[in-house]
């Protein structure tokens, strides 16, 4: 049971980090005119994660239009 709870907690923490990163990137793009790549770099997102976040952000932008 403890292992399951720990895994669940870790999943929630990771989802929260992802949501925060996406929200901060969206704010930089909207308010500062940053490109997706520049926003992710400014937030210190590792280069190997840029593709993941780029896909998420592009999906969100497409849903808004």
Tokens representing 62? 């497409």
* Residue 2's pLDDT band (cuts 50, 70, 90): confident
In angstroms, the Cα distances linking 45 to 18, 32, 54, 64 are: 10, 18, 11, 24
Helix (H/G/I), strand (E/B), else coil: 33: coil
For residue 7, pLDDT over 60 is answered with: yes
Domain chopping of the chain, boundaries: 2-64
pLDDT of residue 13: 95
pLDDT of residue 65: 55
Averaged over 4-21, what is the pLDDT?
94
For residue 12, the Cα-to-chain-centroid distance in whole angstroms is 14
Mean pLDDT (the chain) is 91
Confirm whether pTM is higher than 0.85.
no
pLDDT of residue 64: 60
């Amino acid at each position: 049971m403890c292992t399951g709870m720990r895994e669940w907690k870790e999943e929630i923490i990771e989802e929260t980090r992802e949501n925060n990163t996406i929200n901060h990137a969206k704010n930089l793009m909207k308010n500062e005119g940053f490109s997706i790549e520049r926003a992710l770099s400014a937030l210190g997102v590792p280069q190997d994660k840029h593709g993941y976040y780029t896909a998420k952000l592009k999906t969100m932008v497409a849903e808004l239009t």
